[in-house]
Amino acid sequence: MAQQGTDKITEAEESKARLRLWLRMLKSTRRVEAVLRDRLRSEFDTTLPRFDVMAALARFDTGLKMSALSGVLRVSNGNVTGIVDRLAEDGHVVRVQVPGDRRASMVRLTRKGEEEFARQAAAHEAWIAELLADFDAAEADLLSDRFDAVSHRDET
């Protein structure tokens, strides 16, 4: 009886501890995103979705189709077309025709876009290093692995 009671309390406490962890994770993530958003705006006059699009393009020398870009990003409320239009206006990306497919166009970084993204990415990495300064490399790697489990849980 007593044992059963103890187990029940433990399970409830475990559940509450996980809920607290989730709420803190969410708060930390939003805090970091808010800082990134502010600094991208003030230091580079750009936005988080624009930075994310450039980051995706930086991984593909030949560029990406618009559809692939939407997929890579999963910008929930992002308007990929609008983001690409703005990056094109700034001379950071160009649209190029897909050989053999007149209706499809690819987007890729220009040389200027590559240089601008290199600057932004270096600043971004330094900001993250500062914001997560409480985690040393070993702890950060350990936690990365632990969170990987969360990302892949219940995936079907």
Instruction: Give me the residues that bind a copy of itself (CB under 8 A), please.
Output: 10, 13-22, 24-33, 35, 74, 77, 125-126, 128-138, 140-141, 143-144, 146-151, 153-154
Burial readout 90-124 (b: 16 or more C-beta within 10 A, e: otherwise) = eebbbeeeeeeeeeeebbbbeeebeebbeebeebb
Nearer to a copy of itself, 74 or 111 (CB): 74
Shortest Cβ distance from residue 17 to a copy of itself (Å)? Answer: 4
Angle between helical axes of 66-73 and 48-58 (0-180°, round to 10): 120
User: CA 152, CA 156: separation in Å to the nearest integer?
Assistant: 9
Minimum CB separation from a copy of itself for residue 41, in Å?
A: 14
Rounded to the nearest whole angstrom, what is the least distance from the CB of residue 69 to a copy of itself in the complex? Answer: 17
Closer to a copy of itself by CB, 8 or 27: give it: 27
Min dist CB 2 to a copy of itself, Å, is 20
Q: For residues 3 and 151, which CB has a smaller minimum distance to a copy of itself in the complex?
A: 151
The residue among 102, 92, 88, 98 whose CA lies nearest residue 65 is 98
Residue closer to a copy of itself (CB basis): 73 or 94: 73
What torsion, rounded to 10 degrees, do the Cα atoms 87, 50, 115, 97 define? -50
Token duo for residue 145: 């692995």
